[in-house]
Amino acid sequence: MPKLAAVLALLASCASPALDEAKLVDLTWAFDRDSVYWPTAQSFELTTVAHGANDQGLWYASNDFRASEHGGTHLDAPIHFAEGRWSSHEIPLRHFIGPARVIDVRAACAADRDHRLSVSDVEAYEARHGALRAGDVVLVHTGWGRFWPNRERYLGSAERGVADNLHFPGIGKDAAELLVERGVELVGIDTASLDHGPTTTFDAHRVLAGANVPGLENVAHLELLPPRGATLIALPMKIRDGTGGPCRIVALLP
């Protein structure tokens, strides 16, 4: 709880008319018809119920929406890949708020679109920016956000209903194990999956979920964050027994 108390104290100190909005960064893609979803998942659909004057001549607007839990900027709850682990509503709040540690692997991903975050990538980051600590939030910056929402470039294939030919970066199994060892409480990435596109076993998901470490996928605008010093706040939809859900993610810059 000390970490959460410190973060809440920081936020309380900012809750005034003097809050510098330039220090707030929105790390969330807007949900719309172009939002990237897994090829086999229900995409986001918005249906207009009302938009205009009602029978009293007063303005009223309302929509219905439907979508998979897993698409756009969203949460992966541990139950998604690990039996008996937390579902969306069971994840303690402390896992959604914490010091953001941004590991930049853009160069490696530009050279290999199937690059997986490695132990050496993590150790190189720690050598430059300090060791990861228990309670940290690790965000993997692949640079893939520059392709959003072009499905062909973002996923490697724009074909719907088939996930057999996807190519984008992710997290390697050994690196996931190291993050668990470090005590990281939340892991995010700016691609469609914690695992790289060609995976069939989703090892990074299984390692992290098995340790009750939630994931964030399709995180936006990581280029706006420093390697360390920002505070991340992720607020997913609280779906009872959910395996994930849409998420609003923001960061407070130092």
Quick one: which of 218, 198, 187 has its CA closest to 157? 198
Give me the residues paired with residue 97 across strands: 233
For 204, the token pair is: 């990074």
Indicate the length of the chain as a whole number: 254
Point out the catalytic residue in the list 80, 95, 141, 196. 80
The structure tokens listed for 34 are 């172009």
Q: Which two tokens stand for residue 43?
A: 């995409």
Instruction: Report d(CA 39, CA 65) in Å as an integer.
Output: 19
The pair of structure tokens assigned to 168 is: 């984008």
Alpha-carbon distances, residue 250 vs 96, 110, 194 (angstroms): 11, 26, 19
| Cα angle value 67/68/73 (rounded, 5°) | 90
Token digits of residue 135: 């309670």
Q: Is 221 a catalytic residue?
A: no
As given in the structure block, the two tokens for residue 116 are 């997986």
Torsion angle in degrees (nearest 10) through CA of 48, 52, 57, 58: 80
- Name the residues annotated as catalytic: 80
